Amino acid sequence: MMASFKRWLSAEWRFVLVAVGLLLLAMSLVGRMLMLQVLDITHGVDFLKRQGDSRTVRVEKIPGPRGMLTDRNGVPLAISTPVVDIIADPAHLVFTDDELQQLAFLLEMPAADIQSKLERYQAKRYMLIKREVSPIIADAVAELRIKGISGEEKYRRFYPGGEVTSHLVGYVDRKGRGQEGFENTYNTALQGDDGRRVLLKDLHDRTIKVLRQPKDPEPGDDIALSVDMRLQYLAYRELKTAVAKHRADAGSVVVLDIHTGEVLAMANQPAFNPNDRSRMNIASVRNRAVTDVFEPGSTVKPLAVLAALEAGKFSPDSKIDTNPGYVRVGRKTLLDPVNYGLIDVTKVITKSSQVGMTKIALTLEPEVVPSMLRRLGFAQPIDSGIPGESTGYFPYRERWRKIEQASLSFGHGVSVTAAQLARAYATVAARGEIRPVSFVKLSEPSKGEQVVAPALADQVIGMAKTVVGPTGTARKAASDLYSAAGKTGTTHKVGAKGYEAGKYISIFAGFAPADNPQIAVVVVVDDPKGREYYGGEVAAPVFSAIIEDGLRLLNVAPDMLSPESSESRLVSRGM
């Protein structure tokens, strides 16, 4: 009986303890409510509001659009378009089969794929369903009002020029940060400043209304590059055609405005499409015009002759004896393709005589030619800001060996980029005034520096005109509409173990019109295959096409034809 009583007592006490506990809890809640609503009504209301807001009020980022990149005439090269990432909260996702089918239809995805992915992420709070859909599609998805489905606003970068401007413009990563080209160089200026807005949402995380917008998004700066899209496409087209025709590994073209130093075009092959980076590789991304170096070869000869003229030891009419068609310098024998005999300095340039150039160089003090090349920008950066820009290679010697002195005069033992060579030729064409290279449109020409006397530059221009003439090495660089001047170059390709047999770099550097230069153009073709590999055969025709159509696009009047015959020819070409 005692045991039974104890059991009853134990049960009674358990009931009492539970009842007392519940009573105390109820009194605590009532007391808390009284304190919040009566004794401290302001604090109580604020507390309850905060609790409600934590469940229904959200602060969202409003992305600030990235600034545009345009060409010098306002043609868009890189623009940002609004898109939305469709995301899910799998842990709180609730939908019917019909809603799933509608979602799949809008996103153009198999419903089974969405379902499978949701099952894999069911314990997660974030899952990307589809990236970068249009705002119209995103609005349609929002109209389904599926609990746990929402959208994240962002911007997608679009490049209207595709491959044509890829090396100049570059691209951005998925977070909108510039990775190559001027997207990288000017990333800070282009980057927009995000805004914020406060949203009221229901318990299914669906937006009811915008409560306020404490900070508006600010777009990044728009930047006008110096390039002219018309010339850029022309350079791209002609280079691509030449690289394909000669089965070359690669190539570059640079077009400079002689009077301002602005880059009007810069194209490379191979190229890439920044709108489709799935096929992108390192070789195609590199802007070879500023990163890749090569021996400029005979394109240096007019520059070396400029040094000789300045030294006062030669004139364009000075005679050079190239007999018997070769010359020994130390242990090396330097050859001309034929024995030119007794020729003047002008013909040394016209025929690209190795023997003649060697004899001129060895007559000069050893530092005369190196000093000139350095003044013309060899081994000096162009300060493009493009990742990987090279300054090239230039030898510095306390004592120059004879073979080094000779080799430098015809462009061996030194390396440059296509952009550096273009700057040097633009300086000669500008009558000895060197200007900074600009990739951004200038409101006025940057100040130049006179590094060579104008009269001496004029003499070299006159000699360079003969190269494009009927007896020169670059007859294919000539235009029927515009006079031109320049120099061919053909060098063996330099590899890890020195010069590579049977592999060449074909070059043409020049400017036009010759008597009133407007643009300087450098064409470089890397390792053309087949019988044609000389600069005059491979690179010169690209130069010709660019100056003929490019100057016309720039409204430069032809100087080779009368106005009547010029107009007739343009009509016959359909221009």
Per-residue pLDDT, averaged over 473-484, amounts to 96
Residue 570 has pLDDT above 60, yes or no: no
**Helix or strand or coil: residue 364?**
coil
- Condensed to tens digits (0 to 9), the pLDDT of residues 248-301 reads 999 999 999 999 999 999 999 999 999 988 888 888 999 999 999 999 999 999
Three-state SS for 51-73 is HHHHHHEEEEEECCCCCCEECCC
More confident residue, 260 or 12: 260
Mean pLDDT of 391-410: 94
Q: How confident is the model at residue 310 (pLDDT cuts 50, 70, 90)?
A: very high
Q: Are strands 433-434 and 342-344 parallel, antiparallel or unpaired?
A: unpaired
C-alpha–C-alpha distance, residues 423 and 378, integer Å: 9
The pLDDT value given to residue 572: 46
The predicted pLDDT at position 481 comes to: 96
Q: What is the pLDDT of residues 352-384, one digit of tens each?
A: 999 999 999 999 999 999 999 999 999 999 999
Question: What is the model's pLDDT at position 193?
Answer: 82
Tokens standing for 465?
A: 């005109």
Give the per-residue SS3 of 457-516.
HHHHHHHHHHHCCCCCCCHHHCCCCCCCEEEEEEEEEEECCEEEEEEEEEEEEEEECCCC
Nearest in space to 515 (alpha carbons), one of 562, 545, 558: 558
DSSP string, 236-256: HHHHHHHHHHTT-SEEEEEEE
Specify the amino acid at residue 30: V
Is 113 in a helix, a strand, or coil? helix
Q: Nearest to residue 573, comparing CAs of 467, 519, 561, 483?
A: 561
**pLDDT the model gives residue 561:** 72
Residue 311 pLDDT > 80: yes
Helix axis angle, 301-311 to 454-467, nearest 10°: 140
More confident residue, 15 or 141: 141
The DSSP element (H or E) to which 198 belongs, if any, is strand 195-201
Using CA atoms, how far apart are residues 458 and 115, in angstroms rounded to an integer? 75
Q: Is the pLDDT of residue 440 over 80?
A: yes
| Res 539: pLDDT | 98
pLDDT confidence of 215, banded at 50, 70, 90?
confident
> By C-alpha distance, which of 352, 409, 334 is closest to 378?
409
Proportion of the chain in helix, strand, coil states, percent, rounded to 5: 40, 25, 35
> In terms of Cα–Cα distance, which of 225, 246, 244 is closest to 165?
225
Q: Is the pLDDT of residue 12 over 80?
A: no
pLDDT of 574 over the 50 cut: no
pLDDT (tens digit per residue) in 149-173: 888 888 899 999 999 999 999 999 9
Measured over the CA atoms of residue 254, residue 410, residue 380 and residue 463, the dihedral's sign is: negative
CA–CA gap between residue 4 and residue 312 (Å, rounded) = 132
Span 517-555, pLDDT tens digits = 999 999 999 999 989 999 999 999 999 999 999 999 999
**Spans of all domains in the chain:** 54-85+158-192+215-225, 229-572
Binning pLDDT at 50, 70 and 90, where does residue 85 land?
very high
Please, what is the average pLDDT of the chain?
88
**CB neighbours of residue 422 within 10 Å:** 31
Catalytic residue among 166, 298, 407, 415: 298
pLDDT of 172-209, one tens digit each? 998 889 999 999 999 999 998 887 777 776 655 566 66
Q: What percent of the chain lies above the pLDDT cut of 70?
A: 87
- Under 8 Å CB-to-CB from 445, ≥6 apart: which residues? 259, 260, 261, 435
Q: Which run of H or of E encompasses 259? A: none
pLDDT tens-place string over residues 220-251? 999 999 999 999 999 999 999 999 999 999 99
Q: Lowest-pLDDT range, 63-72, 274-283, 305-314?
A: 274-283
Which two tokens mark 288? 């070879």
Residue 147 DSSP SS3: strand
Q: In the CATH hierarchy, which top-level class contains the domain 229-572?
A: alpha beta
**Average of per-residue pLDDT across 381-402:** 92
Say what the pLDDT of residue 575 is.
45
User: CATH says 54-85+158-192+215-225 is which class?
Assistant: alpha beta
Residue 64 has pLDDT above 70, yes or no: yes
For residues 455 and 346, give the distance between their C-alpha atoms in angstroms, rounded to a whole number: 16
Residue 298 a catalytic site member: yes
| Share of residues in the chain with pLDDT > 90 (%) | 66
pLDDT at 573 over 70: no
Split at pLDDT 50, 70, 90, the class of 565 is: very low
DSSP secondary structure code for residue 352 in this structure: T
Q: What pLDDT sits at residue 505?
A: 97
Confidence of residue 101 (pLDDT cuts 50, 70, 90): very high
For 100-107, what is the mean pLDDT? Answer: 92
**Which residue in the block uniquely carries the two structure tokens 């040094």?**
307
204 three-class SS:
coil
Q: What is the pLDDT of residue 309?
A: 98
Q: What is the mean pLDDT of residues 377-394?
A: 93
pLDDT reported for residue 23: 73
Please report which confidence band the pLDDT of residue 472 belongs to, taking 50, 70 and 90 as the band edges.
Answer: very high
